[in-house]
Structure 1
Amino acid sequence: MFQPPYRAAVIGRTGRGDYGHDLDRAIAEDPRLSLVALADEDEAGRLAAADRLGVDVGSTYADFREMLAKEKPEFVAVAPRWLDCHREMVVACAGACVRGIFLEKPMAPSPADCDAMLDSCHAAHAKLAIAFQTRVSPIFDRVKTLLSEDAIGPVLELRGRGKEDRRGGGEDLMVLGSHIMDLSRAVLGDASWCFARVTEGGEPIGRGSVRDGAEGIGPLAGDRVDAMYGFEDSPAVAHFATTRPSEPGGRFDLRIFGERGVIVMGTGWMPEAYLLHDPRWLDAPGGEGWERITSAGVGQSEPLPAGGLLDGNRRILADLISAVEEDRAPIVSGEDGRASIEMILATYASQRSGGPVALPLEDRGHPLAG
């Protein structure tokens, strides 16, 4: 009978995505799991991880496929941050009858990769959860409650920006933009179209602009992205932008504009969030007109510790285990991960077509490939 403690394993890749944002620690610490094995192609990294996580050296593997076949884990953290390995690792986990897979974001380089991962999970009845920590934040829960209570009136538009550091542009879009895309969908539902402009040095990108992205991202282009999205079930639109500035802007957040006010929130497990009751949207965040939003409510002291990404990953993993036990979708599912990738790549598809493109994307390949 399927019951805890469940057999669990970790797949890492030292020097090529490592163990993500503590996905390995989350799976090692969950009381419903028993961490029995880990895989890492790098010997030194593998031994260090075994020591850190308390895994017997005899249960460590250079080949994750060998580990899956011999150890037969029921839950696996596919932890590397790099994207180029996600498809093969997730498909292998599903093929080995893993029940729950916890995957670092972003999901994969292309919609086709995401499709293959989800098809394999559906065929094996495996649940796939993505490490979007803000989606499970108690502060984001409070923001959603405020929106449902009409605290700022009907939502008119969303505005999000990437981190805009040295990665500003295409890399920022893929790595950090995935969080903003996911939050936009959590507020407005499924995106139905995208209209975007992607430029390099002020000029529209062309084939000569395409380069291989760092960290297994796949093809990318542009040092500036300006995108607008429409949604199936809302008249509101969402905007996302990123540029490579001379100085980092510190604008990595989502701003929700309503008829009677604004909500601004950052990202992460316990992000800063503020509410402004002003239809003019004038006061700067943190100014006199703004009220702090905490997990306890507007203007209330925060009763919870600050925490970090590990706390968010613990919450996602706990929900994944419950999702397997209850045979339901995780809060942050593989379908959510795929939708964020499609919103990201729709920017390139729109730039190439010279107009809006429909979502989901008809062409499942990467718009910059070929």
Structure 2
Amino acid sequence: MSADPAKMSRRVFVSSTAAALAAAPALAPASDTKPRRIGVIGHTGQGNFGHGIDTVWLELPETKIVGVADANSQGREQAKQRLGCERAFSDYREMIQQVQPEIVAVGPRYVDQHHAMIMAAIDGGAKGIYCEKPFCRTLQEADQIVAACQRSGTRLAIAHRNRYHPALPVTQAAIKQGAIGKVLEIRCRGKEDTRGGGQDLWVLGTHLFNLAAYFAGTPTACSATYYAGDHPATVADVLPGSEGIGPIAGNRLHARYDTQSGTPIFFDSIRGAGVAKAGFGIQIVGTEGVIDLRMDTEPLVHLLRGNPFQPTAIPRRWVNISSAGIGKPEPIPDIKRLVSKHILPARDLIASIDQARQPLCSDTDGRVTLEMVHATFASHVQQGQRVSLPLVTRTHPFDGWNNSR
């Protein structure tokens, strides 16, 4: 029997109110009068400064950029002017040593630079790090970063912006209260543009994996197959991915994950199959409805009630889920800017330092996401067999791959 929508809304309102209160510390600046010292790392021509990883600190009165590093001389001067920063360095290690920032922003989109930059920030005594996604190249690098953060007490947050949206805990509460009945599966699709397949997996799929694991729990196994055209990808199809992500293969990927909750997660990406205006996102499918999250949009979350597998003559209407609840107007002013400009993530990082807790999207969350990426490679080299997570091999599964049999 379907849940009464009126009773459901009341229950979710109570849960969402508690969720909103829990998120409140990230909505306002910290009470300290002394600005937090920020060091910004970029690399013009090699991932630049990410998607606003450098400029977010100008939005926060509680922070002050005290140093910027860029190995490119022209980019360095431009960054110095753009960020209103007096001290600029060609070497990020020198910047960290000399200005001793409390928080280091690791901006380059090229993932092959992240490990060295993060480790330098930890070694330099940073209390917090805000890092552009994807996290890092290999699970070996992730393990080293997580261990270093645990030793030092450094809080590391990853810039999966949607994870910090205040509507997420409200959505999770709605699911637990039965808003879509029994959860059957989570479906993820990338943008499926020219990057379809492995590149889509890395650059955009990591956003989706981060949210899917939030709702379904940590993945425990994966089976996946890459295709190059109409055939499963072979060693001959392996190419270096762009933005420093390492080797990838094929232009089509189909993956399935088992999870702690028992809810399977699916990820599919086919080059050229995407709908540009729809973007990319995840759908949580239940026996009595579907919850859809479209990345980087506002509202972020929508609900469609009714069994998705049962045709009906009665029109169904999508309703939004805001931080106030199902079908409620969003009470937080300028929520799109707060999320898209990294303001909520930055404030959550600051709060995590002050409260000695993990950020909402932490280094360990990043490692889970990376496990999901590498699991597709590990399964494919075993001809699509199911592989258990965490993976035993922590280097890239394509290293040394030989399928000549």
Give the TM-score of the pair, scaled to structure 1: 0.93
Q: Note if 1:334 corresponds to 2:363.
A: yes
Relative to structure 1, the CA distance from residue 31 to residue 199 in structure 2 (aligned partners, 3 Å threshold; closer, same or farther) is: same
| Residue in structure 1 matched with residue 268 of structure 2 by the alignment | 241
Q: Please, which moves more after superposition, 274-283 or 151-160?
A: 274-283
Q: Secondary structure at the match of 2:267?
A: strand
Shift of 1:190: 0.5
Contact 1:283 1:289 in 2 (8 A): no
Q: Please, which moves more after superposition, 118-127 or 209-218?
A: 118-127
How far apart are the structure 2 equivalents of 1:246 and 1:331? 32
| Residue in structure 1 matched with residue 72 of structure 2 by the alignment | 42
Q: Note if 1:53 corresponds to 2:80.
A: no
1:269-280 matched pairs, under 5 angstroms? 270-280=298-308
How far apart are the structure 1 equivalents of 2:306 and 2:382? 39
How far apart are the structure 1 equivalents of 2:225 and 2:211? 21
1:239 corresponds to which letter in structure 2?
Answer: F
Contact 1:139 1:270 in 2 (8 A): no
Q: Secondary structure at the match of 2:110?
A: coil
Contact 2:279 2:295 in 1 (8 A): no
How far apart are the structure 1 equivalents of 2:191 and 2:130? 25
1:23 corresponds to which letter in structure 2?
Answer: I
Contact 2:220 2:259 in 1 (8 A): yes
Q: Please, which moves more after superposition, 311-320 or 177-186?
A: 311-320
Q: Secondary structure at the match of 1:335?
A: helix
2:272 corresponds to which letter in structure 1?
Answer: P
Contact 1:137 1:312 in 2 (8 A): no
| Residue in structure 2 matched with residue 152 of structure 1 by the alignment | 180
Shift of 1:246: 6.0
Q: Note if 1:318 corresponds to 2:352.
A: no
How far apart are the structure 1 equivalents of 2:37 and 2:311? 52
Relative to structure 1, the CA distance from residue 89 to residue 283 in structure 2 (aligned partners, 3 Å threshold; closer, same or farther) is: farther
How far apart are the structure 2 equivalents of 1:41 and 1:10? 12
How far apart are the structure 1 equivalents of 2:133 and 2:204? 9
Q: Note if 1:364 corresponds to 2:394.
A: yes
Q: Secondary structure at the match of 1:225?
A: strand
Contact 1:269 1:309 in 2 (8 A): no
Shift of 1:151: 0.6
Unpaired segments ≥5 residues, structure 2 = 1-31, 401-405
Q: Please, which moves more after superposition, 115-124 or 318-327?
A: 115-124
Shift of 1:270: 3.2
The structure 2 residue matched to 1:77, chosen from 105, 108, 125, is 105
| Residue in structure 2 matched with residue 132 of structure 1 by the alignment | 160
The structure 1 residue matched to 2:334, chosen from 305, 308, 333, is 305
> What does the per-residue CA deviation read over 1:20-50, in whole Å, with 9 as the maximum and x for residues that have no partner?
1101111233222221110001111111111
| Residue in structure 2 matched with residue 294 of structure 1 by the alignment | 322
Q: What is the percent sequence identity of the aligned residues?
A: 37
Relative to structure 1, the CA distance from residue 204 to residue 308 in structure 2 (aligned partners, 3 Å threshold; closer, same or farther) is: farther
Shift of 1:245: 1.9
How far apart are the structure 2 equivalents of 1:281 and 1:257? 10
Q: Secondary structure at the match of 1:141?
A: helix
| Residue in structure 2 matched with residue 206 of structure 1 by the alignment | 234
Contact 2:162 2:339 in 1 (8 A): no
Shift of 1:247: 6.2
Q: Secondary structure at the match of 2:263?
A: strand
Shift of 1:235: 1.9
| Residue in structure 2 matched with residue 33 of structure 1 by the alignment | 63
How far apart are the structure 2 equivalents of 1:72 and 1:150? 49
Contact 2:339 2:345 in 1 (8 A): no
Give the TM-score of the pair, scaled to structure 2: 0.85
Coordinate RMSD, CA, aligned:
2.0
Relative to structure 1, the CA distance from residue 75 to residue 247 in structure 2 (aligned partners, 3 Å threshold; closer, same or farther) is: closer
| Residue in structure 2 matched with residue 118 of structure 1 by the alignment | 146
Q: Please, which moves more after superposition, 200-209 or 134-143?
A: 134-143
Q: Note if 1:94 corresponds to 2:122.
A: yes
> What does the per-residue CA deviation read over 1:195-254, in whole Å, with 9 as the maximum and x for residues that have no partner?
11111112111111111111111111110010011112x121110000102664645110
Contact 2:56 2:341 in 1 (8 A): no
Shift of 1:129: 0.4
Shift of 1:306: 5.6
Contact 1:22 1:310 in 2 (8 A): no
1:235 corresponds to which letter in structure 2?
Answer: G
How far apart are the structure 2 equivalents of 1:269 and 1:71? 37
Q: Secondary structure at the match of 1:85?
A: helix
The structure 2 residue matched to 1:11, chosen from 34, 41, 56, is 41
Shift of 1:265: 1.3
1:154 corresponds to which letter in structure 2?
Answer: K
Contact 1:199 1:222 in 2 (8 A): yes
Q: How many residues align?
A: 364
